[in-house]
Amino acid sequence: METLARSSHAANLLKLKNGDLLCFWFSGTHEGDSNVAIVMSRLMKNSNQWGKTVEIDRQEGRSFQNPVAFQTASGRIWLLHTSQPAGEWQSNAEVLYLTSDDAGQSWTTPHPLFTQPGSFTRHPPIQINKKHWVLPIYYTPNRSITDGAESNYSAIKLTKDGGKSWQECRIPQSNGLVQQSIVRLANGFLGLFRSRYADFIYKSTSENGCDWTAPAPTHLPNNNSSIQLTTLNDGSLVLAFNNSSAGVTHDKTTTSARKPLSIALSEDGGKTWPWIRDIETGGSAPEQDDTHPGRKTHEEFSYPSLLQDAQGKINVAYSYNRETIKVVRFEQNWIKQGQTEGQFKGDSLK
């Protein structure tokens, strides 16, 4: 992708009804700095060239993060993103929203949507019908993704009137588990979580989208970085994630390498993941920026977003070394034809 600033992160893809793909992310000097903006690029239907990156929302003294976009049955696009005072990190974040009625060519003025301090988004909602949406969110009362991050927790925002009013459903026993990515299955909902403990991806289920089971660890590793889950046309599930962790204990919030970036395929509703293939593996470059301690700037392939396009191919957008957003595209069967260098090698086929 074309970059407008030094740092780019947290992509989210959207497939429009006309077949175009939009990719949103935040871009600026560094995450949390003033003027970090929400930007967008477009891939026209049947094109192989992403268009010019354009700025959607930016404000002096504020830092924007984690754009999430979805298109409703009417064709309107909703764009949600977080906003926080520059330099104050996440504890004072709130969620804003903008809309577009011309396929993303122009946007309304942003307005607050969720104002409880520490409110954060990462993944798009499930739209049950025209007005009933199930949106995962999470809260970050602390400033860091490690120190005090056990206070973070997840919730669901439900609306049955097209976003005019919202009901909150807290995920039980979700402290330290954030950025739930959800899909709708025949018997309800499946949600997978990022773990602040950098141990495993956690799993929760719900029959109605509001009442969720307490999250339990899967055997898929997590490194305290974002994942994304989606459903393919044939009902299979695909999961993009960093196939690494810091260990198997759930007693200390920590982080691990944001590589390799892998994709897994399940044909039984997420019960097993027999096929895993790496998208990016990386080498051995340093992973710290000495001018901003704790910020990874090299060898990071993270925050994936994925969808199946109008031609049936899987598209994955992700942060490439925090410098740009990279998008790869492949057939579903490509996943079955490779392997991984990561920790989890896939469930055995019986």
Chain CA centroid to CA 234, Å: 22
Total Cβ atoms within 10 A of residue 17: 12
Q: What is the dihedral of CA 19, 226, 24, 43, to 10 degrees?
A: -40
Question: pTM of the prediction?
Answer: 0.95
Contacts of 160-169 spanning 24+ positions with Cβ under 8 A: 160/131, 160/132, 161/131, 162/72, 162/130, 162/131, 162/133, 163/78, 163/97, 163/133, 166/114, 167/210, 169/209, 169/210, 169/211, 169/212
The arithmetic mean of pLDDT across residues 13-36, rounded, is: 95
pLDDT > 70? residue 52: yes
Q: Which of 9-13, 17-21, 142-146 has the lowest mean pLDDT?
A: 142-146
Beta strands, E only, 214-323: 216-221, 228-231, 237-242, 261-266, 275-280, 301-308, 314-320
- Domains in the chain, please, with CATH? 7-337 (2.120.10.10)
DSSP H or E stretch at residue 203: strand 200-206
Cα separation, 93 vs 31, whole angstroms: 13
The conformation of residue 110, written as its DSSP 8-state character, comes to: P
pLDDT digits (tens, 9 = 90+) for 134-162: 999 999 999 899 999 999 999 999 999 99
pLDDT digits (tens, 9 = 90+) for 289-332: 444 444 445 699 999 999 999 999 999 999 999 999 999 999 99
Q: Which of 48, 88, 76, 31 is nearest to 319 (CA)?
A: 31
- Residue 350's pLDDT is 60
Q: Do the beta carbons of residue 15 and residue 310 sit within 8 Å? A: yes
The arithmetic mean of pLDDT across residues 36-64, rounded, is: 95
Total Cβ atoms within 10 A of residue 236: 18
Cα separation, 329 vs 311, whole angstroms: 11
pLDDT > 50? residue 8: yes
pLDDT > 50? residue 132: yes
pLDDT > 90? residue 84: yes
Q: Do the beta carbons of residue 336 and residue 314 sit within 8 Å? A: no
CA distances from 4 to 7, 33, 124, 324 (A): 9, 15, 24, 9
Using CB atoms within 10 Å of the CB of residue 335, give its burial: 0 to 12 exposed, 13 to 18 middle, 19+ buried: buried
Mean of the per-residue pLDDT values for the chain? 94
Cα separation, 221 vs 302, whole angstroms: 14
pLDDT digits (tens, 9 = 90+) for 209-243: 999 999 999 999 999 999 999 999 999 999 999 99
> pLDDT-derived band of residue 88, with 50, 70 and 90 as boundaries?
confident
- Residue 284's pLDDT is 60
Express as a percent the part of the chain with pLDDT over 90.
89
- Residue 294's pLDDT is 47
pLDDT digits (tens, 9 = 90+) for 262-277: 999 999 999 999 999 9
> pLDDT-derived band of residue 195, with 50, 70 and 90 as boundaries?
very high
Q: Which of 32-41, 155-164, 284-293 has the lowest mean pLDDT?
A: 284-293
Q: Do the beta carbons of residue 262 and residue 273 sit within 8 Å? A: no
Q: Do the beta carbons of residue 178 and residue 152 sit within 8 Å? A: yes
> pLDDT-derived band of residue 285, with 50, 70 and 90 as boundaries?
low
